[in-house]
A = this chain, B = another copy of it.
Amino acid sequence: MKPTLQYSITIFKALSEVTRLKIIWLLMNMDSKICVSEIIEVLEEPQYNVSRHLKILSKAGLLEESKEGKWVYYYIKKTNSEFLQHIKNAVSIISKNDMTMEIQRCKQKLLTRDK
């Protein structure tokens, strides 16, 4: 199905904010589901902001959540929408220069995850 104008705008808006774009970028590049507290540490953003931005991304249909005990894990929603695929292709080539610290913290986080 081809996306409507309004739907496209929802997606573009969702991606027009630094924290949100960083979240999407990280989830795409780390290729792993990540829980809220991990994102908080990695991005060094307050808890309520991370929560809210995750909600916006979910509502836009870009993320999905899975509750596991007291944690909520978020991951990139699989899609067969051609439109979203193009958008994801675009996001995937955003430079990681602005993100070196976050990447380091994230890799560290993922390594030291308790099993």
Contact = CB atoms under 8 A, between A and B. Distances in A.
Interface of A: 1-6, 8-9, 12-13, 15-18, 21-22, 25, 82-83, 86-87, 89-91, 93-95, 97-99
A99 B5 contact: yes
B86 A2 contact: no
A91 B87 CA distance: 9
Contacts of A91: 8
Contact of A90 (B25, B83, B95): B83
A15 B18 contact: no
Contacts of A5: 18, 21-22, 25, 94-95, 98-99
Q: Closest 7 CB pairs between A and B?
A: A86-B90, A2-B95, A12-B16, A86-B89, A13-B16, A12-B15, A5-B98
